[in-house]
Amino acid sequence: MGSCTLIASDKTGTLTCNQLSVERVLPADGVALERLARAAVLCNEADLHCRDGDWVGRGDPTDVALLQFARQQGLSRERALLAEPQRNAIPFEPEHRFAASFHAARTGGISVLVKGAPERVLPMCNASPASQRHWLEQAVALAGEGLRVLALAEGRGLEPLGEQATPPEPSGLECLGLLGLMDPLRPGAALAVQRCHEAGIRVWMITGDHPITAAAIARQLGLLQGRDAVVEGRELEQASPRQLQRLVASRCVFARMAPHQKLQLVQAAQRAGHFVAVTGDCVNDAPALRAAQIGIAMGRSGTDVAREAADLVLADDGFASIVAGIEEGRIAYANVRKVIALLVSSGAAEIVLITLAVASGLPLPLLPVQLLWLNLATNGVQDVALAFEPAEGDVLRQRPRPPQEPVFDRLMRQRTVLAALVMGVVGFALYAALLQRGWPLEQARNALLLQMVLFENVQIGNCRLERHSVFSASPLRSPLLLAGTAAAFALHVLMMHSSWGQHLLGTGPLPLQQWLVQLALSLSVLLAVELQKWIQRRGDRGSSPANTPPGC
């Protein structure tokens, strides 16, 4: 999640609440609301029931909204079906963009009720070109308000269909009117999109809605600026591979998209070098979910097929949760790097120390049991606590990590080598100086072991913040790390002053003056790393900003 560079999101249910309601009704001349309500409930696959005083719907949110609209007109699906039993149906498919339901008419014969996209349903109607232009203009006006627009139509006097599996596409219908359905934005969705832009993550909105509806919602979200264009499914269908790559690079809102086109967009983004997260909730989304590096299925509204195809299941279906997951992914990855930096730099310092001692002909500076104590008892407590370090505060204002970038990158290599050399060289200098002053070998090793513990305590402060100074964040913001470090140091001091610790590790008390000298020496690694961080920050300020332009 922390490596994500592009989120291809559904609109309905992820960026919006998926709680539709009929807000605008435009009936045709001479068509009563009851007739529109009848078409809405007969050409419908949802259920609406009263439970504990509340009306609860089950099924597609658009169909549930239509049943709510019909209920307000005093009509229920159950009563309508008793009066006009269903004989056949053409279920809604994103490729067809309409649904039809065939019923035994009260006056005999078969009637058909159709709902769908206006530009798809109106050509099925016996309407003049001028009338069709009028209705399409009305549909565009409703879409400009951010509404999902449905056209309803009816045909009567059809011949019985028999038992044929696939009825023909209806024609010669009467246009009943248009319905505009509102699906409000999810709380926090616009802010989440803004946070993605600040984090250098592009956001796509992919929807089957009208392009003007998609544009209105996208502007509310901050995805479109000025005259930015929306890509339609037919435009994508006709695009050459080169044109497709240009669309992927420059556009972020895609409307009237079929499921196979969503997969096409994901694959094109991956070819462009993006690390893609895709949201989906239905069976048709499964190929895109599998193709994406991070497939995210909807936990509430998603199908079992979508959840099985995905890598993650979103419990609340909200876009803001995806952004929160990216933030947590970046924090977790940063903490992994911090723990690795601490462990590798400490281990490398011990190698430098021993190598210098052997090369100079001195006895081994630390015994095996002392090395084991240093790595397991003291360092082991600290690195576990470091794994729970909170974010540095600007984790979503940094560039996405390139997916191919190794954990042990150039910055970590430089800092690890610097810290290891400082700790190893200063530790060897202390050890050699103590032997030269006539200290017994056991006491010199005891002092050196304390010095390495002090170095580790300082180095864990260096590793807490990768880019910022250790002085920019109070140690109290990491109580677990502070307690772990204090506990590890207290444990070593206990081993220095207890008889069984002295027997096991060869440790012993040191005079106060020696403590002060070694405390001062331990600050050498702090000064070296602080200087390196300062140089790094100056270089970062001279580089280009991490954020992508709005609308991308």
* CA distances in angstroms from 420 to 341, 518, 529, listed in the order given: 10, 17, 11
Task: Tell me the two tokens of residue 396.
Answer: 């979503």
> What type of residue is 520?
A
CA distance 11 to 262: 13
* CA distances in angstroms from 264 to 206, 269, 394, 399, listed in the order given: 12, 9, 34, 26
Task: Tell me the two tokens of residue 67.
Answer: 């049943």
* Helical residues (DSSP H) of 292-409, grouped into ranges: 304-309, 319-359, 368-372, 379-386
Residue 209 is among the residues annotated as catalytic for this protein: no
Contact 349, 420 (CB under 8 A): yes
Estimate to the nearest angstrom the gap between the alpha carbon of 408 and the chain centroid.
Answer: 24
Phi, psi of 167 (to 5 degrees): -70, 155
Residue 160's nearest CA partner among 102, 107, 115 is 102
CA distance 135 to 179: 11
Residue in 10, 281, 285, 383 annotated catalytic: 10
CA distance 456 to 458: 5
> What type of residue is 410?
R
Phi, psi of 490 (to 5 degrees): -60, -35
Is 489 in a helix, a strand, or coil?
helix
Active-site amino acid positions: 10
